[in-house]
Amino acid sequence: MAEACNFIEQIVAEDLASGKIGAVQTRFPPEPNGYLHIGHAKSMFVNFGIAEKFGGKCNLFFDDTNPSKEKTEYVEAIKRDIAWLGYHWAKEVYASDFFDDIYAFAERLIAMGKAYVCDLSPEEIKATRGTLTEPGTESPYRNRSVEENLQLFREMRAGKYADGEKCLRAKIDMSSPNINLRDPVIYRILRAAHHRTGDKWCIYPMYDYAHPVCDYLQGVTHSLCTLEFEDHRPLYDWVGITLGFDPKPRQIEFARLNMTNLVMSKRYLKKLVEEGSVHGWDDPRMPTLAGLRNRGVPAAALRDFCMRAGVAKAQSECDICYFEAIVREYCNAHAPRAMAVVDPLKLTITNYEGSEEVDFEVNQLDPAAGVRKVTFGRHLYIERGDFSSDPPPKYHRLKPGGVVRLKNAYIVRCDEAVCDERGTVTELRCTYLPESRSGHDTSGVKAKGVLHWVNAETCVPAVLKQYEHLLRDADYAGQDFSERMNPDSEHVFAAVAEPYLAEAEEGTAFQLMRTGYYKTCRENGALCLSEIVSLKDTFNK
């Protein structure tokens, strides 16, 4: 049998070994009220991962018991995201598929004297629930007869009462130390069109009641969820035991993935989209799976991150730099190298005529990727930031009278910086050393700096986009997320790029030399280079 790598896998392995279960069945249970985010990737890693590892199955279970917030658009987006991550669900099921059964089980609870219709308003129910130190008070409707309860519940279903006028509550224990067991509401009246069942229902089951029923009906063996449901487990078990579920699914909780610099809640992410703080759910700065995909993050890197982040009971916060380091690792191994220049400055080699092809390794870490040709010529661009007319000591980039190597080409010396009337440098006039060609250098000249460049005659204009984290961190911890928003997280620059970048299939990831990992895309027909991750590793430092 597969080796167990965390406490949940250990439980599953034991249950399989002891014959308690024949095969493992899990479910990934998103509520279709928004797009999935990186936290959900962890939940998928746990649910799909365990099923895969132990030869079982994982369903995609849409928890759609909250009709006012759920939409088919989200269902489609969620399926796209799961497929992108490379997971396969056995069955696609919806809580709403089971509405009839969930209802029938509720009638059974009533018949057993384990549930009653309550006329208290939601506010009154809240007010009589008690506190952590004080028991709650029993509802005056708690001791209605089975017959009366059944009749009222059926009338609730038939639409006889207004929203909130009545509800169905489980009859458990108003003095339980666990507030979740103080006669929780299990059905409410709500006139809201459901994205799948339309107006068929005007009563909807509550999550805590519907979930164990749906798990049971799907044959779930291990219901894996995050720690905030730990206090709900006694209710989960109460439902299963009272209704005689056999085999009863077992709920196991694990710690949520929390990360620095990220908001990881659909509600907040939705707010960002709605108030226009980002361009949409798939904005490259968003921690949504759609955003990460659009950003150019490889799905394999995300899965790997979830694995390395581990599965535990203890709450923790993962440094986003750790995630970025893994993305960088993947990009570094696979991305072809190319050159693009931000804020270009003209560089003319006055003693060079014509053009020639120089060799450029596609990826020095991957010899199989081979070598391509880049056209060198008299008119080039380098980055304005790579030249200084008044450099600090030990400045290895270009300065008046200084030398640098142009990547994979020649050493050049800066003879003159031409300025306009305002003193802004508009052109560097240089000479090259003909004996200094990369790989054949016999010039004897040492150039400490190596600059990337593009050929002014063949280059294409591009827009280059860099991103910062959406949220500021550390010092801002504990503050409301809107106060932590980074107001300036997208930077757009004019750039020029090798034609190679424009020819690549849209969405290809490149390492732009000395700049970072970027994905190509088109914006209004123009080449856009969108940052995936920077070159600098701030995590390992």
- Residues 92/217, Cβ–Cβ less than 8 Å: no
| Choice between 110 and 269, CB closer to ligand ATP | 269
Minimum distance from residue 234 beta carbon to ligand ATP (Å): 18
148 scored as a contact of Mg ion (CB under 5 A): no
Assess 56 for contact with ligand ATP (CB under 6 A): no
Sole window of 25-33, 109-117, 240-248, 439-447 interacting with Mg ion (rule: CB under 5 A): 25-33
Nearest Cα to 66, choosing from 252, 201, 160, 215? Answer: 201
Q: Which is nearer to Mg ion, 211 or 293 (CB)?
A: 211
In 54-198, which residue ranges form alpha helices assigned H by DSSP? 72-85, 99-111, 122-127, 146-158
Q: Which residue is nearest to ligand ATP (CB)?
A: 39
Contacts for 158 with CB less than 8 Å, ≥ 6 apart: none
CB of 206 to Mg ion, least distance (A): 12
Smallest gap from Cβ 11 to Mg ion, in A, equals: 23
Strand 379-383 to 403-406 pairing:
unpaired
Extract the tokens encoding 116: 């009653």
Non-local CB neighbours of 2 within 8 Å, separated by 6+ positions = 9, 13, 53, 54, 55
Among residues 253, 237, 254, which one has the least CA distance to residue 245? Answer: 237
State the Cα–Cα distance between residues 280 and 105, nearest whole angstrom. Answer: 41
**Are 178 and 236 spatial neighbours (Cβ–Cβ below 8 Å)?**
no
Determine if residue 408 is left, alpha or beta; phi over 0 gives left, psi from -120 to 50 gives alpha, anything else beta: left
* 40 near ligand ATP, rule: CB under 6 A: yes
Q: Could you tell me whether strands 57-62 and 317-318 are parallel, antiparallel, or unpaired per DSSP bridges?
A: unpaired
Residue 452 binds which of Mg ion, ligand ATP, none (CB < 5-8 A, kind-dependent): none
Binding mask 249-288 for ligand ATP (x = CB under 6 A): -------xx------xxx----------------------
> Does 169 participate in catalysis according to the annotation?
no
Q: Which is nearer to ligand ATP, 178 or 226 (CB)?
A: 226
Which of Mg ion, ligand ATP, none binds 67 (CB below 5-8 Å, type-dependent)?
Answer: none
The active-site residue out of 248, 266, 295, 328 is: 266
Is the Cα torsion angle 24, 251, 247, 104 positive or negative in sign?
negative
Tell me the site size for ligand ATP, rule CB under 6 A: 15
Q: What angle do the packed helices 38-53 and 7-17 form, to 10 degrees?
A: 30
| CA dihedral sign, ordered 147, 153, 157, 158 | positive
The terminus-to-terminus CA distance of the chain in angstroms comes to 39
CB of 299 to ligand ATP, least distance (A): 17
31 touches Mg ion (CB under 5 A): yes
**Closest CB to ligand ATP among 321 and 430?**
321
Q: Give the interface segment with Mg ion, choosing from 24-32, 38-46, 119-127, 193-201 (CB under 5 A).
A: 24-32
CB of 223 to ligand ATP, least distance (A): 9
What character string, x for contact with ligand ATP (CB under 6 A) and - otherwise, covers 479-518?
A: ----------------------------------------
- Residues numbered 238-297 forming contacts with Mg ion, rule: CB under 5 A: none
Report if residue 528 touches ligand ATP, rule: CB under 6 A: no
Min CB(225)–ligand ATP separation in Å: 4
Return the one option of ligand ATP, Mg ion, none that residue 264 interacts with (CB less than 5 to 8 A, by type).
ligand ATP
Using CB under 6 A as the binding rule, whether residue 30 contacts ligand ATP is answered as: yes
Query: What Cα–Cα distance (Å) separates residue 344 from each residue in 200, 353, 454, 461?
Result: 63, 22, 9, 10
Nearer to ligand ATP by C-beta: 75 or 299? 75
Pull the structure tokens for residue 140. Answer: 């005056």
Q: Which of residues 57-96 bind ligand ATP (CB under 6 A)?
A: 63
Task: Tell me: does residue 39 bind ligand ATP (CB under 6 A).
Answer: yes
Calpha distance 188→170 (Å, rounded): 12
**Strand runs (DSSP E) across 120-208, as ranges?**
167-170, 185-189, 203-205
Asked if 114 is an active-site residue, the reply is no
Whether 266 is catalytic is: yes
Helices (H), 243-318: 266-274, 289-295, 299-309
Q: Please, what is the minimum distance in Å from the beta carbon of residue 31 to Mg ion?
A: 5
Among 51, 167, 225, 428, binds ligand ATP (CB under 6 A): 225
Q: Taking the complex as a whole, how short is the minimal distance between the CB of residue 323 and ligand ATP, in angstroms? A: 13
Q: Taking a C-beta distance cutoff of 8 angstroms, is the pair 7, 227 a contact?
A: no
Active-site hit among 114, 256, 384, 413: 256
The answer to whether residues 403 and 411 touch, using CB atoms and an 8 Å cutoff, is yes
Identified binder of ligand ATP from the candidate list 12, 16, 24, 43, rule CB under 6 A: 43
Stretch of residues binding ligand ATP (CB under 6 A), selected from 34-42, 341-349, 410-418, 513-521:
34-42
Please report, as ranges, the residues that interact with ligand ATP according to CB under 6 A.
Answer: 29-31, 39-40, 42-43, 63, 225-226, 256-257, 264-266
The catalytic site residues sit at: 31, 256, 266
